[in-house]
Structure 1
Amino acid sequence: MIIHIDDAADPRVSDYLSLTDVQLRKVKEPAEGLFIAESLKVIRRALASGHQPRSFFMTERWLPDLASILADYDHIPVYVGTAEILEKIIGFNLHRGAMAAMHRPEPADLSELLANSRRIAVLEDIVDHTNIGAVFRSAAALGVDAVLVTPRCADPLYRRSIRVSMGTVFQVPWARLPQWPEGIQVLHDAGFTTAALALVEDSLTIKELAARNDQKLALILGTEGDGLSARTLAQTDLAVMIPMADGVDSLNVAAASAVAFFATDPRH
């Protein structure tokens, strides 16, 4: 259902309004039950994972590239406009082909997720969407069963997180913990050994952690600036470090996650 848009104030495209306003979007999208998939690859991965579109949004030149997909969703609006009109609506030049507003899925059941997982990642208060997306991409590539995010952590289904993850956020089950660090006890009750990545005196090395081969392992990663909170470290079973060469304090949280996921991958 192709609909041509020639007015940036058209209420039918309100899902796409002001995509660069992070504060607006992080309230609007969960409240209205949507998320935005950006680029042809991400849209295809979202649809392949079973997510349902609310609408599509693109310039006319990209219609042929999505023709095979649009044929299966001929009842869904496809909003088409000039590059100038679309830029006024979303706030930037849309050069990645197309976007889709998708119905946000129901949250995963935490108990079921923990019961069916052996190795999970827990992200404490990570607010940078690029890092969130990168962690999910590493989790998908390196066999992490699920990702849990704390209440103050950024939204994994925010547009930038999805794009940086290359759509792999749709492959890895995830859930938001209702409380933190109280949620650590939930992990212990589910049989997980909790391992906090932190540079403290009694830390194991990541190789020593891998050698333990814990049956159920939760790797806890902290915020970009301050790392994990003291309350979190006090409640976890283990502290774990990635040894650094002289003169380097630590890795970015996204890089650290990739190292930790690879080192503890039971397939190796």
Structure 2
Amino acid sequence: MTTTATADEFETHRPRLFGLAYRMLGSAEEAEDAVQDAYLRFSGADRSAITHPAAWLAKTVTNLCLTRLTSARARRERYAGPWLPEPVVTSDGTLGPLESAEQRDAVSLAMLVLLERLTPTERAVYVLREAFAYSHREIAGTLDLSEANCRQLYRRAEQRLAAGEGRFDVPARRREELVASFLTAARDGDLAGLERILAADVTWWSDGGGRVSAARRPIEGREKVLRFLAGGSRSFAAGFTYTAVELNGAPALLARDGGTLVAAIGFDCGPDGITGLRAVVNPDKLDFVRRQLA
């Protein structure tokens, strides 16, 4: 097969492979690198030995991600302050179709944080099963494990995730209303309006990665979050401009200082209002969104 034909064939698989790698790694940049490495292996492989290119590529990307996850876990243990995934604009289909609440929840910032609790292999099993509807037999073939072992790993992953932070089935319209209310309060500097939409047990996470000023620990409770926004954060009513966008399958906000993107804010919502705010302010983690918007 010619180089051009190989590249063209690979491009038909790239979106799905990127979606797999991103869910595995929580990093758009590392996901792109994994997909590119898979292309190099694909272009140099004996094509006569590849019966099913889609399965071969999925296995290759999964294994590349497993290798990356081992080193990533060590880096994240040394990470300055809370670690959050790199946000991705999903209204353009970058992570594939997100047609159900379950599909959207699976790529949410909150879920990607929870997935950090899993071992690399547990994460691979869970992502392949939940996001790509692989059978346990297909997962076993992808990971070179027994089918029984894959079932056990999947059950263990479910148990670990169930023990994580509670997530609520909040209607999409209600989420949009809460984010719109936050946007209005942010533009007006209206802390009283913000207080009305924050749940009493709301938590604020800031991911600056040591690159910019950010809270080094989660800020818990409505009063503390309000004090932080009022006095300790430049990202609220400080001459910034805010725009609404869909990040990781959910309504979110982007904050700009002049023309520079400085923050991406995701929201967790519950029956009592906004229960969590996840602000990615590490400029390195905003590069992918910048390129999407450009």
Alignment TM-score > 0.5, same fold: no
TM-score by length of 1: 0.28
The structure carrying a bigger helix percent of its residues is 2
TM-score by length of 2: 0.27
